[in-house]
Amino acid sequence: MMADFCPVPNPDVHRDFLQKVVDLLFKNVVFTTRRDKVLLWKTPEELQGEFDFTLPQAGDSQDKLLQIMKNTVKFSVKTGHPYFINQLFSGLDPYGLAGQWLTDALNASVYTYEVAPVFTLMEQHVIKEVCKMVGPQWSDGIFCPGGSFGNGTAMNLARFHKFPQAKLKGCNILPRMVVLASEECHYSTYKFAAFLGMGEDNVWPLKTDDVGQIVPEKVEEAIQAVLLEGAVPLMVVATLGTTVRGAFDPIHAIATICKKYEIWLHVDAAWGGGLLFSQKHRAKLNGIEAANSIVINPHKLLAVPQQCSMLLVTHPDILHRCHSRGAEYLFQKDKYYDASYDLGDRYLQCGRKCDVFKFWIMWRAKGSCGFAKHIDTLMDLAEYFEQQVNARPDFVLVSKRQYVNVCFWYLPRYLRGKLNISDYNAQLQKVAPQIKAVMVKHGSVMLNYQPLKTLPNFFRFVSQNSALTKKDADFILDHIAEIGDALFP
């Protein structure tokens, strides 16, 4: 029988179906164990052959839909699996998942108080609480669909702050602007410079040292160079927790320079910002309070389900002044309640998913102490992982660990102690991709690799899943070594 067309659940028709979907998720996704595979790898061509992507004229039956869903899960990556260590998100928090399910069932859109009363007040409350953890002069912010969008929004705010007329008159009346960012910054800075009409070439990379931090003297030199070219140094983007190496830029020193030249300082703490919760490691964020804007992604270090990202700002009311358009069908001037609670016009989006609830319910479930324990456990494991890398002859650390990121090479036997070989880097470049391909085809471990500046491909161990143990760390290193030995005898 074809499924019905009305978008309304009916207990007689849909209860059993929805229950079976939940059962399927419980069995094949939510309660994944180490014995399960992380993924069942198929090439795009194989997957096209094995998965039915067609869209029918007449709808499918519920039984068929369940079969399709089972297949979708079968061929999808289980990012909650302990050995999914590929990205800056992992784990599957049960409370976060419950929160996500709740907001999906309510299908909320957080633009007006009347449509999302609880979530509107909750957003304001959570933003205030996180701001308090940053510093006393902080109190405002918005949720964003990801850290990239938050970084881009901060660039738009910085430009509006310097040239408020840009909102009405556009780019044509503006001088050339330059954004200064670490050469190891997240690529979203470049994308949004292009998107905002400033141009990728006007993002100037700032030199980093051998652990990946901006060298403060280079900031002042770059500002002088921008001024010499007759351009406007608009903003500095510093990073707390760089994507690959997990480096922390020296914010105090950079902020002093920004103050001197009256330049907007944006801190991309998408990855490192979660450390606000850890008394033990909070000091890595020292200076963060001196920024003009900050991006923090609870969906990264804190393992809140995707997406959950916040942009915090110091300038009062700038979000409203920069973004508002006052659409009268949504933000009527004669509302039957205090319309200052309608947060939507402070955003660039119109309809907006509720991302706060899953974070808030996790915070309720664990308390700030629970988040702190989660972070401290991750940091301890990263320390252990780094020690093991240093202790083994078949592995070499890329640079000293500063955070959860441990960057390392696996060295084939013929490269150990052979730094003098002329094509050493070219040889090493080939190692990580081949080992990764074997792991993915086995479905055993997903671990990212990348080159960086002149450094050839290396692995990045980075876990946000505090259930990982030392035994897991040993397993991952042994597994890489075993594959490496077989591939590169």
Ligand X SMILES: Cc1ncc(COP(=O)(O)O)c(C=O)c1O
Question: Would you tell me which residues interact with ligand X (CB under 6 A)?
Answer: 88, 146-148, 151, 186, 188, 239, 241-243, 268, 270-271, 297, 309
From the CB of 255, what's the least distance to ligand X, in Å?
18
From the CB of 214, what's the least distance to ligand X, in Å?
13
From the CB of 153, what's the least distance to ligand X, in Å?
11
Cα 435 from Cα 429, distance rounded (Å): 11
Cα 191 from Cα 150, distance rounded (Å): 12
Residue of closest CB approach to ligand X: 147
From the CB of 122, what's the least distance to ligand X, in Å?
21
Nearer to ligand X, 410 or 458 (CB): 458
Nearer to ligand X, 186 or 401 (CB): 186
From the CB of 150, what's the least distance to ligand X, in Å?
8
Sheet containing 406-410, strands listed edge to edge, beginning at the edge strand earlier in sequence: 84-85, 446-452, 455-461, 406-410, 395-397
Cα 245 from Cα 239, distance rounded (Å): 11
Q: How far apart are the first and last CA of the chain?
A: 58
Nearer to ligand X, 291 or 411 (CB): 291
Q: 10 Å Cβ neighbour count for 336?
A: 7
* DSSP codes, 424-476: HHHHHHTHHHHHHHHHHHHTS-EEEEEEETTEEEEEEE----TT--HHHHHHH
288 closest CA partner among 130, 132, 134: 134
Nearer to ligand X, 395 or 449 (CB): 449
Nearer to ligand X, 146 or 456 (CB): 146
Cα 356 from Cα 126, distance rounded (Å): 8
From the CB of 273, what's the least distance to ligand X, in Å?
9
Nearer to ligand X, 299 or 479 (CB): 299
- Structure tokens, 452: 């960086």
From the CB of 171, what's the least distance to ligand X, in Å?
24
Residue matched to tokens 């490496």: 484
Cα 86 from Cα 82, distance rounded (Å): 11
What length is written for the chain? Answer: 489
Expressed in percent and rounded to 5, the helix, strand and coil fractions of the chain are 45, 15, 40
From the CB of 28, what's the least distance to ligand X, in Å?
26
Nearer to ligand X, 358 or 479 (CB): 358
Nearer to ligand X, 147 or 305 (CB): 147
Cα 189 from Cα 200, distance rounded (Å): 8
Nearer to ligand X, 113 or 149 (CB): 149
| Residue 103 neighbours by CB under 8 Å, 6+ apart | 119, 353, 354, 357, 358
* DSSP codes, 328-358: TTTS-TT-SS-GGG--GGGSS-SS----HHH
Cα 273 from Cα 257, distance rounded (Å): 22
Nearer to ligand X, 82 or 298 (CB): 298
Classified as helix, coil or strand, 408 is strand
| Residue 356 neighbours by CB under 8 Å, 6+ apart | 110, 119, 122, 123, 126, 143, 308
CB 403 within 8 A of CB 409: no
Nearer to ligand X, 309 or 388 (CB): 309
Nearer to ligand X, 148 or 208 (CB): 148
From the CB of 303, what's the least distance to ligand X, in Å?
14
278 closest CA partner among 247, 302, 313: 302
From the CB of 477, what's the least distance to ligand X, in Å?
24
From the CB of 485, what's the least distance to ligand X, in Å?
32
From the CB of 180, what's the least distance to ligand X, in Å?
16
What DSSP element (H or E) covers 18? helix 11-25
